[in-house]
Amino acid sequence: MLECQFSSGILRKAKNKNGGTELRNNLKRYGMSLPSGRRKSQPCTTFTSLCEDEAKQMGKDYFTLCKELFPSAALANLSLAAKPVVCSEETSKRLNSVQWANQIVHNLITTIQSFEQSSLPVQQPVSSISDAENAARDGVVKFSRLTHGFGNGAMITAWQAFQEFLNNYALELNKTSMVKQETLFIKPSPSTSSHASLPNHQ
């Protein structure tokens, strides 16, 4: 099988006028046959000009930038400041929502990774795989191929950045809840005695 990442210059040249013919003739010398004709079933994108090694390096750089520079904590603070919690019950509800969202994203990432690792034909009876799983797997593999391996990794990186945002949001929620409790249980009321102002700790 022709390894595209080792022949990027040749393949790009093949996209020029008469490049396809030259490529077929060169491959023929090594006993490789490349049928003529237009086999393109998908529209051209920027990723069309990339080869696998380039796409992989872009994915690594994107991961590093997201991990080191994406302002998850600052965005979590901003989001909470835009709609602060008003009671402990609301804090609990938001924490539960964050936990569920985080779990859903985690499951999604795990699913994508499992499909990526088993992109070859599945060694299971067809009857044991649901139509929904087949459709999802085919879509993931197709998306990966059309982006030359960049797309799925980039999606996972983005979802991991979202998870980091959720984690920071949960931390800020807990901090806010602790501050409110300290204000409620420790700070005495200026108009009454401290004992009268303290609620029941039960």
Per-position DSSP letters for the chain, written without gaps between them: ---GGG-HHHHHHHTSTTHHHHHHHHHHHTT-----S----S---GGGG--HHHHHHHHHHHHHHHHHH--HHHHHHHHHHHS---SHHHHHHHHHHHHHHHHHHHHHHHHHHHHHHT-SPP-S-GGGS-HHHHHHHHHHHHHHHHTTT-HHHHHHHHHHHHHHHHHHHHHHHHHHHHHHHHHHHTSPPTTS-HHHHPPP--
| pTM attached to this predicted model | 0.67
Check whether residue 153 and residue 120 sit in a common domain.
Answer: yes
Check whether residue 9 and residue 65 sit in a common domain.
Answer: no
Check whether residue 33 and residue 56 sit in a common domain.
Answer: no
pLDDT on residue 48: 77
Domain count, the chain: 2
* pLDDT, tens digit only, all 202 positions of the chain: 344 444 555 555 555 656 667 777 877 887 777 666 655 566 777 887 778 888 889 999 999 999 999 999 999 999 999 998 888 888 999 999 999 999 999 999 999 999 987 755 545 545 567 888 989 999 999 999 888 889 999 999 999 999 999 999 999 998 877 655 544 444 444 444 444 333 444 4
pLDDT on residue 111: 95
pLDDT on residue 40: 57
Range of the domain at 88: 46-188
Residue 199 lies in a domain: no
Check whether residue 112 and residue 33 sit in a common domain.
Answer: no
pLDDT on residue 29: 82
pLDDT in tens, 82-131: 998 888 888 999 999 999 999 999 999 999 999 987 755 545 545 567 88
Residue 196 lies in a domain: no
Residue 12 lies in a domain: yes
Check whether residue 28 and residue 111 sit in a common domain.
Answer: no
Check whether residue 77 and residue 7 sit in a common domain.
Answer: no
Check whether residue 173 and residue 118 sit in a common domain.
Answer: yes
Check whether residue 121 and residue 24 sit in a common domain.
Answer: no
Check whether residue 162 and residue 87 sit in a common domain.
Answer: yes
Residue 148 lies in a domain: yes
Check whether residue 72 and residue 164 sit in a common domain.
Answer: yes
Check whether residue 24 and residue 5 sit in a common domain.
Answer: yes
